[in-house]
Amino acid sequence: MSHGRHGGRSTTRPSFAVSSSSSSSSVSSQIGASPDFSSIQKVMRDVFRSSEITIQQVERLQGRLYQVYLSKLGDGSSLVVKCSPPFNTRLLRHEKHGLETERKALETLREYTPLPVPRLIKYDSHGGDLGMPFILMTQVPGRRLSEFSSILSASERNTIDRTLGGYVRSLTVLSATQYGSTHRVFSKRGSSSWREAFLALLEAALRDAEDMLVTVPYDNIRCYIGRHSHRLDEVTEPRLVAIYACNPNNVILDEQTRQITGLVGFSNVVWGDPLMSGGIEGGSDAFFEGYGERPVRTEGAKVRMLMYATYRAVLQIVAYHYRPQLEVDELNARRSLTNALNDLAQM
């Protein structure tokens, strides 16, 4: 979508709707902290510097954490407004810079990769008329892969996996000068080693768990990760790691062709070991065909993969306890954590 003029005034009455697929977490309890129709329209007019822009409808979309709105304009186009979580939401430590991270990630991916990601139009860390930080971006047309997973043919699944493998390769060739979370790296406050950066990420997740009195084997996690932490020094160049790049909720498909139309959800991107990227763990043959190679499973790589599995499991368990309404399989996450720790103990 151009930043220029849009269609003229419409006689259709505007509306504000909650999508039937939106999150079941209480919309009413968040209403006081949510943007309204008029504030979203004012933001659009301010961004494009035109009083002629008319919004036909604002629809709230499903979101695990953020408040996401699809704004349908009078000229038939659509834009997405992604706002920070409601003020009463307790954030995990890695979530506190989510919108800033997504902004930096989208700008980087649009400039340096061919990936079909939304085009960032506006990022406002203060919020202006919305009263909260937000991102305004183009819409990726289609539906989530999670809505198709059970009905895809083997051939369609292979095509999707092969495409995702190529996309993850495009992500992991991007490098930086420091390790760690995106907001720290871009502000030149990143780490000089992947060991330091990863241990800080893991410790932040464990502290989130401790804050909520979540029962996990803290001592074992710290012991086994610490015992093998020297393996993290085998990573010698910070590469872009999109942890949730292949999450079925973040992959958008064309409803008819069932091919990928875009990727969304880049609020958790770090710079470190490509082996921690979404899709690598448990990737199919088709995925690695698209990726270009199957990572060499050296002793060090195997250990690091187990460390990353531990980290992901802790994130899932903690997220479940902070937001039990989310579709998180806690039992599976705990099973994965136990298996990873058992394997680390034997190495």
Which sequence spans correspond to the domains of the chain? 15-138, 143-345
What share of the chain in percent tops pLDDT 90?
A: 70
pLDDT tens across 100-121, in order?
999 999 999 999 999 999 999 9
- For residues 89-102, average pLDDT: 93
pLDDT band at 341 (very low <50, low <70, confident <90, very high): very high
| CA angle centred on 228, ends 225 and 343, rounded to 5° | 75
Region of poorest pLDDT, from 69-83, 106-120, 204-218? 69-83
How many Å apart are CA 206 and CA 221, to the nearest integer?
A: 9
Encoded tokens for 170: 């495009």
What share of the chain in percent tops pLDDT 70?
A: 90
Report pLDDT for 93. 94
Query: Could you give the count of Cα atoms lying within 13 Å of 326 in the half-sphere of its Cβ?
Result: 17
Give the homologous superfamily in CATH for domain 143-345.
Aminoglycoside phosphotransferase (APH), C-terminal lobe (3.90.1200.10)
- Closest C-alpha among 144, 161, 123, 118 to residue 289: 161
- Closest C-alpha among 188, 207, 211 to residue 199: 207
Identical topology for domains 15-138 and 143-345 = no
- Closest C-alpha among 321, 347, 346 to residue 333: 321
Q: Tell whether the model's pLDDT for residue 32 goes beyond 80.
A: no
The CATH architecture one would assign to domain 15-138 is 2-Layer Sandwich (3.30)
- Closest C-alpha among 166, 146, 130 to residue 38: 130
- For residues 29-48, average pLDDT: 73
- Closest C-alpha among 283, 289, 71, 276 to residue 166: 289
Q: Tell whether the model's pLDDT for residue 38 goes beyond 80.
A: yes
pLDDT band at 324 (very low <50, low <70, confident <90, very high): confident
Of 194 and 282, the one with more pLDDT = 194
Predicted TM-score (pTM) of the model is 0.85
Q: Across the chain, what does the average pLDDT equal?
A: 87
Residue type, 17: A
Tell me the sheet residues that pair with 58.
16, 71
Residue type, 324: P
How many Å apart are CA 336 and CA 219, to the nearest integer?
A: 17
pLDDT band at 2 (very low <50, low <70, confident <90, very high): very low
- For residues 225-252, average pLDDT: 96
pLDDT band at 33 (very low <50, low <70, confident <90, very high): low
Of 284 and 31, the one with more pLDDT = 284
